[in-house]
Structure 1
Amino acid sequence: MNIKSKLAKGGAVVGAVAIFATAGMLFDNFVRTAATQMLQITIADISKGAEVAVWDATKTLDDVVANNAAICMPGFVESVRQTMQRSIYVRQIVVENDYGVRYCSGLEVDFDYRILSDELPIPGREETLAAIRPLDSDVSLLRITHKVDENRTISAFVYYAPILATGQLPGIAGWGDILRVEFTNGVSLLSMGDRRRFDFDQPDRSHIYASALAGDIPIRVMGSVPIEIVRAQYLNMYLGVLGIALLLCGGGLVAVWQRIERASAGITNLEHAIKKGEVVPYYQPVIDLSSGKIHGSAVMAKWEKPDGKILSGDIIVPYAQASNIMDMLLISLLKQTACDMAALTDSHPDILIGVGLGEIRFYDEAFVRKVGKVLSRCNIETNRLVFEVSAFPKLGKKSVGRKAIMRLAKAGFGIALVAATPRQIDLKYARALRAKVIWVQGEYAVGLDHLADSAGEMGIEICAHGVETRVQLNELRQTDVHIVSGDLIAPALKVNKFFEMLSLLNGAGARKNGDGKTQTSTSHGTQDKGGTRSAA
């Protein structure tokens, strides 16, 4: 009996330890998943507020200019005040010259400020965006400036994040110790907490984190919360779950597991989808407008769900980053892309494939070696792939990132510099990185011809990427740049559709059947190995 009693007690202790350990593990996974999703929603709300504020300012400026033929003449100030009353976000409107001499303003109060950043373009608009700080305040504002004539500008001022104007961080962000709001070129608008405690470029499991862009506005919001604080906020839930687990054992564990599964379904399903091949590359054609032929393509990730829905990379990537399966996603896409494009090696050797991996992965030598193995197995040369690198900020000559990118270039991979405007491009820097292509997206009117001429002398090609509107297309027509891509030109296509379009526009080529068999094609039709012929 004593032995049985000891064994029973020992079994009870082992069982209790196992229950504690299992409950703790499940609880930690649940906390990370649920809190990360909550933080992502909060950060997205902050960035959305910045976007809405900027667009409200542009509309207010449009109304002021449209309703007042004479700037700063009698009646102008009263008209501006009435317009400001209809605006939710605009705090002040000022008319001044390029030297800061003020002519008039909507509110007759002292409003002196210093400028914190360069002027940044607003996509699809003539206005520019800059950060300023009033001399009597510690809070930065956004200045949206419209050029009235050669000597005068009219500017509207808004909070960079109206939701933060109360001084209280919303939602789960209020738990955290790090929040950053900045322009995409790195100029800081708000920096809370010690930035050394967490590196957003090289995240670890000590924090949960999230980031979001303000739509087309060049503003990024990032936040993180230490995992210890998250666990403490969920402590009562943990004790309840542990009590149920101790009382009900198996039943309690099953209930907790189902709850965890439901909370993390998005991430778990994505991992399964990658393994099952549901996440596939789509190919957006890059068109040479001078010849009408396909010049290359940009790879985009799409999740083709069993219910027929298709999710874009904007949804997939945040889930993959949050669950640390980004490498799995990228390798899967590269493997499929390389095997898809291997069919074009002989028929279309000049077609280049643009891939955005995220520059942080260039620093990982093991990841770069995996990429090389994938390409060698699929019989595709490294020079067929072009990896995207941001043109700003520049990487120092001795930086880890610069050395990693140079290793890729020496290995034969193509490098493409990506910039929002021609003014962000430094051709000496591009040549130092051995860039093959410069992708300009968003603004094409100013400086593109000069950039194209100078880049052409260096053997660097200019591509206008992200052409979404006819305004952008009309801007391009005024330049000599004819290599373009974007939804207005051609949408992202599945591999079969891309091959069909390539065959139609470029002549002889190769494509794949739905069952994965390679076909040869001519300008008149296609024929598979069984002899069946169909119209191209």
Structure 2
Amino acid sequence: MTLLAFLPVAAVDHVLDGYVKARETGNLQVLVDAITHDAQETVQDGVQSLRRILANSPSLCATTFLQNVGAELGANPFLRQVIVENDDGVQYCAAFDQTVRYRTLSENLAIPGFTETLSVVTLEGRQTPLLKITQSFGRDRAVSALVIASPMLLREAMSLTAEIDYLQVALTSGTSILLRGDAAVEQEAERGDYLFARSFAGEIPLKAEAAISFALVRADYSPLDVGFNVVACFLGMLTLVLAIQYARKADIAVFDLERAIVAGEMKPYYQPVINLKTGKLTGCEVLIRWVKKNGEIIPPGVFIDYAEMSGLAIPMTLSLMEQVRYDLEDICRQVPEFKVSINLFEGHFRDGSIVDDIQSVFEGSGISYRQLVFEITERRPLDDKAAANRVMTAMHKLGVRIAMDDAGTGHSNLAYLQTLGIDIIKIDKIFVEMIKDPRTPVPVIDGLIAMARELDIEIVAEGVETQEQALYLRARNVVFAQGYLFAPPMKLSAFLVLANALKPVGHESNLEPGFAVA
């Protein structure tokens, strides 16, 4: 325990690294947010200029039209050209009375809430791309305004970007508008070598992302190291005193976890999984809680990491499965399509005993193998891929299905989906939270959905908390969802009441009222 006195000193670099990462990542996020906001305002101004030209011009390419174009060019500093052409690209007229030669770099993308479309072009003899805002006119004419993509990047005030290793402004379809540095930096950011930030424009299909070397920004904070070390020496003694007090008084000592498992204090809580199209209950995810004898409920974040590190996650999961069998056996027998999802840990795929545990608990029970879904999280890497593959193959032979929890957020980089035979992906709450309006696309979610469809993998959305999120997902044919919009994780008694109200899908007419299984 005396070693605790030295922890603050040893932790100086770690603490300062965390501070620098949080502060500089925040600064980087402010930058990319400013870039996308600036681009959005430029496009909106370009749309308004285009609309004023058309509203005030009785016909195209006439004297009044060209005068209106000139007036907008003078009033809008970011408007560079206005062109009238047909569907084949034949130009009828343009500002400055000249033929505009340009090259199209992207497809036309719709701007949500606008009748105009957006694409990227470059003028002949110039390298900097422009955004082309196009409005159809009549049956075969189109009027386009060419505007600067991100004016703030051209101003001298943007000297801050000189230190940035990677900066890209692009359409959400992937077409790059501006690129500085090496795009490979984005992959290196996952290893912690770079700080990374991304921003999406709210009303136009455009994004910006940037990265900066962590070592570079960390060097600017070296004077703080001395001050931190002085403070750490004082904190060392204070830490020792507090540690002694904690060991004597703490209610949640880690060495008490094994006793809690044996005493049956690790309890399953059930969060419903809902069919977004029918509103019916289709299953549940089993989540663990430490319910102490005095009624205090300890959330899993307090003990899960220790359980994994100590190996206690394996007997803890076995105890949980035994309780699930007892709790849900009758429901699963009455509703063959009801699905029960249980979380596994990285250690289960190294140990391999999970397959025997599944058989010993569920063989011959009212819960069939095909009703079981076992979730593996992305938040911890599967270091031994061969062992994991053997375990998952054995699980598939039993008939159970395997879900990838927290898809896209952790170590697996989605390669598990094909290499390990994943049946279901669960879209993480951090992505679902990006949905603000059912009509505004969220590219990262749309990408996950498209990938799952391509691989014929089922989708479950987690963390659904608003009606807008549910509508967005349902519109994209995501059928299954869970979250506080429907219900939080709950004790068995409350879950059975909800199950009775929602009437699970499948053989509903054969269900006994009340699902009285406890």
Cα offset for 1:57? 2.9
Cα offset for 1:293? 5.1
Change (3 A) 1:366 1:110: same
**SS of 2:276's equivalent?**
strand
1:445 aligned residue:
none
Asked whether 1:221 is paired with 2:208, we answer: yes
1:435 aligned residue:
456
Asked whether 1:493 is paired with 2:486, we answer: yes
**Partner AA of 1:26 in structure 2:** V
Contact 1:212 1:220 in 2 (8 A): yes
Q: Which runs of 5+ in 2 are unaligned?
A: 1-5, 240-269, 286-316, 342-372, 432-440, 461-467
CA RMSD of aligned residues (A): 6.0
**SS of 2:205's equivalent?**
strand
Change (3 A) 1:282 1:250: farther
Contact 1:362 1:405 in 2 (8 A): no
User: Which deviations, in whole Å up to 9, do the C-alpha atoms of 1:338-369 show, x marking residues without a partner?
Assistant: x9x98986647278999x99999999876995
**Partner AA of 1:250 in structure 2:** F
Change (3 A) 1:232 1:94: same
Cα offset for 1:44? 1.8
Cα offset for 1:75? 0.9
Contact 2:274 2:283 in 1 (8 A): yes
**SS of 1:49's equivalent?**
helix
Change (3 A) 1:231 1:508: closer
1:182 aligned residue:
170
2:89 aligned residue:
100
Change (3 A) 1:438 1:251: closer
**SS of 1:137's equivalent?**
coil
**SS of 2:79's equivalent?**
coil
Asked whether 1:250 is paired with 2:234, we answer: yes
Change (3 A) 1:235 1:493: same
**SS of 2:33's equivalent?**
helix
Change (3 A) 1:382 1:174: farther
Contact 2:500 2:515 in 1 (8 A): no
User: Which deviations, in whole Å up to 9, do the C-alpha atoms of 1:166-225 show, x marking residues without a partner?
Assistant: 266465x543221122223332222212334x2337611222221122235332322111
Give distance in 1, aligned partners of 2:13 and 2:235: 16
2:20 aligned residue:
31
What are the equivalent positions in structure 2 for 1:82-231 lying under 5 Å apart?
82-83=71-72, 87=76, 89-106=78-95, 108=97, 111-166=100-155, 169=158, 171=160, 173-196=161-184, 198-200=185-187, 203-231=190-218
TM-score (normalizing by structure 2)? 0.54
**SS of 1:195's equivalent?**
coil
Change (3 A) 1:110 1:77: same
Change (3 A) 1:168 1:146: same
Contact 2:496 2:515 in 1 (8 A): no
Indicate the structure (1 or 2) with the bigger Cα radius of gyration: 2
Change (3 A) 1:134 1:351: farther
Contact 2:102 2:122 in 1 (8 A): yes
Cα offset for 1:230? 0.4
Give distance in 1, aligned partners of 2:212 and 2:132: 30
Contact 1:294 1:505 in 2 (8 A): yes
Contact 1:212 1:221 in 2 (8 A): yes
Give distance in 1, aligned partners of 2:156 and 2:387: 44
User: Which deviations, in whole Å up to 9, do the C-alpha atoms of 1:248-285 show, x marking residues without a partner?
Assistant: x4179989xxxxxxxxxxxxxxxxxxxxxxxx989786
1:42 aligned residue:
31
Give distance in 1, aligned partners of 2:498 and 2:146: 48
**SS of 2:187's equivalent?**
coil
Asked whether 1:406 is paired with 2:406, we answer: no
**Partner AA of 1:219 in structure 2:** L
Contact 1:521 1:527 in 2 (8 A): no
Aligned length: 383
Contact 2:166 2:182 in 1 (8 A): yes
Cα offset for 1:36? 1.5
**Partner AA of 2:234 in structure 1:** G
Change (3 A) 1:236 1:183: same
Cα offset for 1:116? 1.5
1:382 aligned residue:
401
1:311 aligned residue:
none
Q: 1:233 aligns with which of 210, 217, 220?
A: 220
**Partner AA of 2:119 in structure 1:** A
Give distance in 1, aligned partners of 2:120 and 2:140: 21
Change (3 A) 1:85 1:241: farther
Cα offset for 1:164? 0.9
Q: How many percent of aligned residue pairs carry the same amino acid? A: 21
Change (3 A) 1:484 1:238: closer
**SS of 2:63's equivalent?**
coil
What are the equivalent positions in structure 2 for 1:449-468 lying under 5 Å apart?
none
Give distance in 1, aligned partners of 2:130 and 2:80: 9
User: Which deviations, in whole Å up to 9, do the C-alpha atoms of 1:310-354 show, x marking residues without a partner?
Assistant: xxxxxxxxxxxxxxxxxxxxxxxxx99xx9x98986647278999
Contact 2:272 2:283 in 1 (8 A): no
Give distance in 2, aligned partners of 1:193 and 1:72: 42
Q: 1:286 aligns with which of 276, 285, 290?
A: 276
Change (3 A) 1:20 1:202: closer
TM-score (normalizing by structure 1)? 0.52
1:305 aligned residue:
none
Give distance in 2, aligned partners of 1:297 and 1:81: 64
Give distance in 2, aligned partners of 1:114 and 1:209: 31
Give distance in 2, aligned partners of 1:527 and 1:297: 14
Q: 2:67 aligns with which of 74, 78, 89?
A: 78
Give distance in 2, aligned partners of 1:365 and 1:60: 59
User: Higher relative contact order by CA 8 Å / sep ≥ 6: 1 or 2?
Assistant: 2
Change (3 A) 1:507 1:283: closer
**Partner AA of 2:196 in structure 1:** Y
Give distance in 2, aligned partners of 1:74 and 1:298: 69
Contact 1:283 1:494 in 2 (8 A): no
